[in-house]
Amino acid sequence: MRLKKTLRLAAGVIALAVVASGCGGGSDKTASQNAADGKLTIGIKYDQPGLSLRNKDGSFSGFDVDVATYVAEQLGVKPENITFKEAPSGQRETLIENGQVDYIVGTYSITDKRKEKVDFAGPYYVTGQSLLVRSDNTDITGAESLNGGKKLCSVKGSTPAQNVKDKYAQSVQLQEYDTYSLCVEALKAGAVDALTTDDIILRGFAAQNPGALKVVGDPFTIEKYGIGVKKGDTESRNKINDAIESMLSSGAWAAALEKNFGSTGYKVPAPPQVDRY
């Protein structure tokens, strides 16, 4: 019996070691150094239609994916040599700090708090926080109607969730989920009254659920999407900024937005000004 118990304990230790190694640290090299070797690991979202979606066949599509791929090509890395890694909102800083990704293109709003941990290139897109509701909802028409304890869904670790905590904590019940797709399912099921995040993300979900969901009201924040890199990696950040500026000026940026959102009635805005933070 003692031998069996010892073997079970040993097996458990090995299993834990395997799990730990699978989740362990990444490369000590910078994004530029890895690009020079011809390969990059890029963090993206997996569940945002129009922006960054993992398709049923395992491929990836969306505006953020196009931005990530364009930047990689400008750094000298071919699309087939890119590894995409899921980067949930609450894990983005950790993934960058641990070297598990070279950079993140994942609706990553540039904030002073985040700049304490990571550096940003960009912005490559400017949007604002809005609301998604069921198509038959007439109570919620915009931020001004967030009252009466309505249930509002957003994602853990996201800027929109923090905005709700800061501005609407007394008016709504915030429900924090791991992903926006889970919020969408909760909204469709009637478990929450509205989903809040950036306007362009919501428009992707509305387009994916025609007749069931709608975006209401005007954006009530300003969110600047940046590309996150390791803190202090100035060389990589500058090269990524150069790549963003090339995409903006070449017409590739507008073409990517039109390709991914043109069918929704979306109008391509003026390109943002890259700020060399």
pLDDT, mean of residues 167-191: 92
Owner of token pair 């390791």 = 230
* Non-local CB neighbours of 109 within 8 Å, separated by 6+ positions: 159, 198, 223, 224, 225, 226
- Residues of the chain above pLDDT 70, percent: 90
User: Amino acid identity of 186?
Assistant: A
271/170 Cα distance (integer angstroms): 36
Confidence of residue 7 (pLDDT cuts 50, 70, 90): very low
Confidence of residue 146 (pLDDT cuts 50, 70, 90): confident
Q: Is 9 helix (H, G, I), strand (E, B) or coil?
A: helix
* Non-local CB neighbours of 69 within 8 Å, separated by 6+ positions: 79, 82
If you average pLDDT over every residue of the chain, what do you get? Answer: 89
Same fold for the domain at 27-127+223-264 and the one at 129-216? yes
Predicted pLDDT of residue 266:
83
Reply yes or no on whether the pLDDT at 24 is more than 70: no
Predicted pLDDT of residue 26:
66
User: What burial class does residue 144 get, using C-beta atoms within 10 Å of its C-beta: 0-12 exposed, 13-18 middle, 19+ buried?
Assistant: exposed
More confident call, 7 vs 41: 41
Reply yes or no on whether the pLDDT at 3 is more than 80: no
CATH of domain 129-216: 3.40.190.10
Predicted pLDDT of residue 157:
85
Confidence of residue 5 (pLDDT cuts 50, 70, 90): very low
Which segment, 31-40, 144-153, 213-222, is predicted with the most confidence on average?
A: 31-40
Predicted pLDDT of residue 63:
97
pLDDT, mean of residues 59-81: 98
Predicted pLDDT of residue 159:
87
117/97 Cα distance (integer angstroms): 8
pLDDT, mean of residues 241-259: 97
pLDDT, mean of residues 16-22: 33
Query: Residue 226, by phi and psi: left (phi above 0), alpha (psi -120 to 50) or beta?
Result: beta
Closest CA to 272 of 237, 224, 213, 228: 224
CATH of domain 27-127+223-264: 3.40.190.10
Predicted pLDDT of residue 81:
98
Q: Poorest-confidence range of 8-12, 54-58, 101-105, 152-156?
A: 8-12
Sorted by where each begins, the domain ranges of the chain are: 27-127+223-264, 129-216
